[in-house]
């Protein structure tokens, strides 16, 4: 995709990385202001091969439907706080709306290549968790976003929803909720589709095999050094605005930029691994994403799930993620020196405090890193008691680099969220952290545009273009939902994405 001229001379915008975040920001900016010149640089030979690649994440369209980690707290009166689930639902709606408008305007086609309806289930065992799920369901169902959520403690019904969950399961209380409108997404495919569109636009270039190695502030914006992977030649260019969407590579790049906003920031990589089912007869019997309750000291993003996926055009069944210990920040093109190389005088204290304050997490990573296939099967049996080792193999998943920062002058904490870091004059933005991740890419792109390109939204034409991409972009979806003014927008987007039939 690099073409014969991989470098635009002094573009308005340089986007580093070709993952889901960069692809969506690039497409959104170009549609908002077609006159913008825009250069994407990707270090690897192919686009979107890191965290956004289908095999390197769980492909869950996170909408709060099944992930118990968004609703962990019970109030004193036993009710469950569902505010976080409502928030993530609204953020994923933005993503679906953007995809639907990208379809309508011809940027992408064939939504079945990247998004499919897959029911989202939460599944728990033991009386305490059954009571929790019942209370969660009551709170969720009261909100219009989750009105269609079903709850059951009946083994027969749960077996109809997902037969593997009950097969061979000993007696004891179990419960599940189900929402049919869940999705499975291949974030790598949709990223490549959007980048292919971007590469066809005037004054745009998407160049693979080009690693950004240095960022230096200048009066007009940023001086950017780019190394050609094939020839090793350095190219120097400049842009008024830079987006660092380099995933695990973002922190080292931000450190070269030396902006004060990144002082004290660190990164902590956690690798992912999946059990993949090799037996087509078992794969065919499961059609759901099933998220369970937290296990031991597992961090929220490592709570395992049993997932129907469609990858490379084939239905498959993945269980995980299991965490693995790594010092690499990128899965394919990372190096073991990434973590030690990111340590600076200004973040070493934070990193040390992290170690001391998160002993449970460290113990958990050591336990995960040393476990055998039989240990992993034991965890799988919590979901699928009749699973046999011969049907499963271990495959590598992606790497999440959790953002670490000082909070309110306090000791550092590991952030499971996503952080957009922007410098004072708003000429550079970077994305750190990995959760909830790809599902909220449009929400993040919108945040970057609102903060760094407010002039593009200051005109009636800019607002019209943005409204065409994301209906109600400047309105609070949760408030619209409460006023029952929202579902029609969703229905239209879902029809376009072939998630519900056209009536």
Ligand X SMILES: Cc1cc2nc3c(=O)[nH]c(=O)nc-3n(C[C@H](O)[C@H](O)[C@H](O)COP(=O)(O)OP(=O)(O)OC[C@H]3O[C@@H](n4cnc5c(N)ncnc54)[C@H](O)[C@@H]3O)c2cc1C
Counting contacts by CB under 6 A, is residue 19 touching ligand X?
yes
Q: Which of these ranges, 2-10, 49-57, 98-106, 166-174, lies near ligand X under the rule CB under 6 A?
A: 49-57
Q: Which is nearer to ligand X, 114 or 151 (CB)?
A: 114
Q: What DSSP state is assigned to residue 97?
A: H
Tell me whether residue 158 or residue 251 sits nearer to ligand X (CB atom): 251
Instruction: Tell me which of 11, 17, 144, 269 binds ligand X, using CB under 6 A.
Output: 17
Residue 437 in the binding site for ligand X (CB under 6 A): yes
What residue spans of 205-291 are helical by DSSP H?
250-257, 280-285
Q: Which residues of 160-196 are buried (b: 16+ CB within 10 A; e: fewer)?
A: ebbebbbeebeeeebbbbbbbbbbbbbbbbbbbbbbe
Work out whether 400 is an interface residue with ligand X (CB under 6 A): yes
- Judged by CB under 6 A, the residue of 2, 39, 60, 350 near ligand X is 60
State yes or no: residue 397 binds ligand X (CB under 6 A): yes
Q: Is residue 432 involved in binding ligand X (CB under 6 A)?
A: no
Closest to ligand X by CB, 359 vs 395, is: 395
Point out the residue whose Cβ comes nearest to ligand X: 19
Residue the block writes with tokens 């973002």: 250
* Identified binder of ligand X from the candidate list 2, 39, 57, 316, rule CB under 6 A: 57
Per CB under 6 A, contacts with ligand X among 183-212 are: 187, 211-212
Phi first, then psi: give them for residue 316, nearest 5 degrees.
Answer: -145, 175
Size of the site for ligand X (CB under 6 A): 43
Q: List the x/- string, 111-140, binding to ligand X by CB under 6 A.
A: ------------------------------
Residue whose CB is less far from ligand X, 44 or 490: 44
Of the candidate residues 2, 37, 39, 52, the single one contacting ligand X (CB under 6 A): 52
Is residue 63 near ligand X by the rule CB under 6 A?
A: no
290 binds ligand X (CB under 6 A): no
| Per-residue binding letters, 267-286, with ligand X (x by CB under 6 A) | -----x--------------
In this structure, the strands spanning 174-179 and 120-125 are antiparallel
Contact with ligand X (CB under 6 A) among 59, 269, 304, 412: 59
In angstroms, give the least distance from the CB of 44 to ligand X: 5
One of 119, 304, 436, 471 touching ligand X (CB under 6 A)? 436
Residue 264 is given by DSSP the state T
Tell the burial category of 322 from Cβ atoms under 10 Å away from its Cβ (0-12, 13-18, 19+).
Answer: buried
Give min distance, CB of 49 to ligand X, in A.
Answer: 6
Question: What is the residue-wise DSSP string for 403-449?
Answer: EEE--TTS--EEE-SEEEEE-TTSSEEEEEE-SSGGGGHHHHHHHHH
* Euclidean distance between CA atoms 131 and 290, whole angstroms: 18
Distance CA 184, CA 187 (A): 9
Is residue 276 within 8 Å of residue 317, measured between CB atoms? yes
In this structure, the chain runs to a length of 503
Residue 428 near residue 242, CB atoms below 8 Å? yes
Query: What does the DSSP assignment read for 54-66?
Result: GGGS--B---SSS
Instruction: Verify binding: residue 333, ligand X, rule CB under 6 A.
Output: yes
Does residue 37 belong to the site contacting ligand X (CB under 6 A)? no
Q: Which one among 12, 14, 29, 42 touches ligand X, defined by CB under 6 A?
A: 42
Give me 132's structure tokens. Answer: 């929790």
Least distance from ligand X to the Cβ atom of residue 399, Å:
6
Q: What's the closest the beta carbon of residue 295 comes to ligand X, in angstroms?
A: 16
Any contact of residue 334 with ligand X (CB under 6 A)?
no
Say what the alpha-carbon torsion angle 125, 128, 133, 135 is, to the nearest 10 degrees. 160
Distance separating alpha carbons of residues 116 and 309, to the nearest angstrom:
9
Name the site residues for ligand X (rule: CB under 6 A). Answer: 16-22, 41-44, 48-52, 57-60, 62, 187, 211-212, 245-247, 249, 253, 272, 321, 330, 333, 397-400, 431, 434, 436-439
């Amino acid at each position: 995709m690099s073409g014969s001229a991989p470098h635009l001379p002094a573009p308005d915008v340089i986007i580093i990385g070709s993952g889901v975040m960069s692809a969506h920001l690039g497409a959104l900016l170009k549609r908002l202001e077609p006159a913008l010149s825009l250069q994407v640089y990707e270090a690897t030979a192919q686009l979107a091969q890191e965290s956004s690649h289908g095999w390197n994440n769980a492909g869950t369209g996170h909408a709060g439907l099944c992930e118990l980690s968004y609703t962990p707290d019970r109030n004193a009166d036993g009710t469950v706080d569902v505010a976080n689930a409502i928030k993530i639902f609204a953020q994923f709606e933005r993503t679906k709306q953007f995809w639907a408008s990208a379809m309508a305007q011809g940027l992408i086609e064939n939504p079945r290549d990247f998004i499919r309806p897959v029911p989202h289930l939460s599944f728990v065992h033991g009386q305490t968790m059954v009571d929790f799920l019942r209370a969660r369901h009551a709170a969720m169902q009261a909100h219009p976003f989750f009105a269609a959520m079903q709850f059951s403690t009946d083994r027969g019904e749960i077996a109809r929803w997902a037969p593997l969950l009950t097969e061979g399961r000993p007696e004891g209380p179990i419960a599940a909720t189900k929402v049919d409108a869940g999705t499975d997404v291949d974030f790598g495919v949709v990223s490549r589709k959007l980048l292919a569109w971007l590469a066809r636009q005037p004054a745009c270039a998407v160049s693979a095999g080009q690693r950004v190695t240095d960022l230096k502030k200048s009066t007009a914006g940023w001086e950017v050094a780019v190394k050609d992977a094939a020839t090793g030649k350095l190219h120097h260019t400049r842009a008024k605005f830079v987006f660092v969407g380099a995933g695990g590579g973002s922190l080292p790049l931000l450190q070269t930029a030396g902006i004060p906003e990144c002082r004290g920031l660190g990164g902590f990589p956690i690798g992912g691994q999946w059990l993949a089912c090799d037996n087509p007869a078992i794969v065919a019997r499961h059609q759901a994403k099933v998220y369970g309750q937290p296990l031991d000291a597992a961090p929220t993003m490592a709570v395992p799930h049993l997932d129907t996926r469609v990858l490379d055009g084939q239905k498959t069944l993945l269980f995980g993620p299991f965490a693995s210990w790594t010092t690499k920040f990128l899965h394919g093109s990372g190096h073991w020196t990434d973590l030690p190389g990111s340590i600076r005088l200004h973040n070493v204290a934070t990193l040390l405090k992290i170690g001391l304050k998160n002993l449970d997490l460290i113990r958990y990573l050591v336990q995960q890193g040393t476990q055998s296939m039989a240990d992993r099967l034991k965890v799988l049996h919590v979901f699928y008691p009749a699973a046999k080792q011969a049907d499963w193999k271990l495959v590598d998943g992606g790497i999440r680099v959790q953002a670490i920062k000082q909070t309110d002058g306090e000791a550092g904490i590991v952030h499971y969220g996503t952080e957009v870091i922007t410098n004072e004059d708003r000429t550079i933005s970077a994305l750190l952290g990995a959760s909830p991740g790809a599902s909220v890419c449009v929400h993040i792109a919108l945040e970057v545009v609102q903060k760094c390109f407010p002039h593009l939204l200051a005109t009636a034409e800019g607002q019209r273009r943005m409204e065409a991409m994301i209906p109600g972009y400047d309105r609070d979806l949760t408030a619209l939902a409460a006023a029952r003014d929202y579902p029609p927008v969703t229905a239209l987007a879902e029809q376009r994405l072939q998630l519900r039939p056209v009536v």
